[in-house]
């Protein structure tokens, strides 16, 4: 932990009086967290009767946005593919991965681009981020929101996702897929059970 604190001081000392005050607190704080910004990548999200959804399988990375959208779309697609395969996970899981692959890939690309902006790697980059934030916050609310919408690739990506209109699942296929409940109808009915 002392090496991590040393790295922070080396990178940010002298940047600003306020930053120097924060760095001085490093040795006094009982709570210290230091981690890297990473992106999880796996060859497959499924093994046997288990598959991953959302951050567990394809998190684009912290601080860049999109994780919730990916998780919700992923859960919908997984449920839809299970319904389409009549609960047969051996057919549904690969179909789910194929259906999500392009969206996940695009989300990761946008996340890497956003990370370069949100997490600067130089003093000049930090100063630019601070000045940009000041400029945006000084604008009236309408133009400020419009400017942010124009520059947010992530929002455009997640707002333009298209998913299949899956068939309603049968009670038998919901039971095979691990869903409880006998209510008739489409996806989303019943409760996921843990066994």
Q: What is the pLDDT of residue 62?
A: 67
Give yes or no for residue 172 having a pLDDT over 70: no
C-alpha radius of gyration, the chain, whole number: 22
Alpha carbons within 13 A on the beta-carbon side of 106 = 16
Which stretches of 85-189 are assigned E, i.e. beta strand?
A: 179-180
Q: What is the pLDDT of residue 191?
A: 32
Sorting pLDDT into bands at 50, 70 and 90, what band is 142? confident
26 or 38: which leads in pLDDT: 26
Average pLDDT over residues 128-148: 75
pLDDT, tens only, 155-169: 778 778 888 998 776
> Rounded to whole angstroms, how far apart are CA atoms 51 and 55?
12
Q: What is the pLDDT of residue 147?
A: 59
Sorting pLDDT into bands at 50, 70 and 90, what band is 150? low
Average pLDDT, the chain: 79
> Over pLDDT 90: what percentage of the chain?
28
Contact indicator for 95, 46 with CB cutoff of 8 Å:
no
- Residues in CB range of 168: below 8 A, 6 or more apart: 83, 184, 185, 186, 187
Give yes or no for residue 123 having a pLDDT over 50: yes
Most confidently predicted of 11-15, 127-131, 133-137: 11-15
> Rounded to whole angstroms, how far apart are CA atoms 167 and 179?
16
* Cβ density class 38-59: b for 16+ within 10 Å, e for less: eeeeeeebbeeeebbbbbebbb
Q: What is the pLDDT of residue 67?
A: 85
pLDDT, tens only, 40-62: 788 999 999 999 999 889 888 76
At 181 the three-state DSSP class reads coil
pLDDT, tens only, 76-121: 999 999 999 999 999 999 999 999 999 999 888 888 777 777 777 7
Q: Classify residue 91 as exposed, middle or buried by CB count within 10 Å of its CB (0-12, 13-18, 19+).
A: middle
């Amino acid at each position: 932990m002392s090496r991590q604190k040393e790295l922070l001081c080396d990178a940010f000392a002298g940047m600003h009086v306020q930053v120097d005050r924060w760095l001085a607190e490093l040795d006094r704080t009982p709570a210290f967290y230091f981690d890297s910004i990473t992106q999880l990548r796996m060859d497959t999200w499924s093994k046997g009767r288990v598959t991953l959804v959302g951050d567990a399988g394809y998190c684009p990375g912290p601080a860049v946005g999109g994780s919730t959208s990916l998780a919700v779309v992923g859960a919908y697609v997984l449920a839809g593919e299970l319904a389409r395969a009549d609960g047969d996970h051996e057919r549904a899981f690969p179909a789910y991965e194929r259906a999500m692959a392009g969206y996940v890939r695009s989300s990761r690309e946008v996340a890497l681009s956003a990370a370069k902006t949100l997490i600067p790697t130089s003093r000049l980059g930090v100063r630019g981020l601070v000045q940009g934030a000041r400029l945006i916050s000084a604008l009236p609310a309408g133009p400020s929101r419009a400017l942010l919408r124009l520059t947010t690739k992530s929002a455009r990506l997640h707002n333009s996702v298209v998913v299949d209109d899956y068939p309603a699942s049968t009670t038998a296929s919901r039971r095979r897929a691990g869903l409880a409940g006998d209510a008739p109808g489409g996806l989303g009915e019943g409760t996921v059970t843990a066994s």
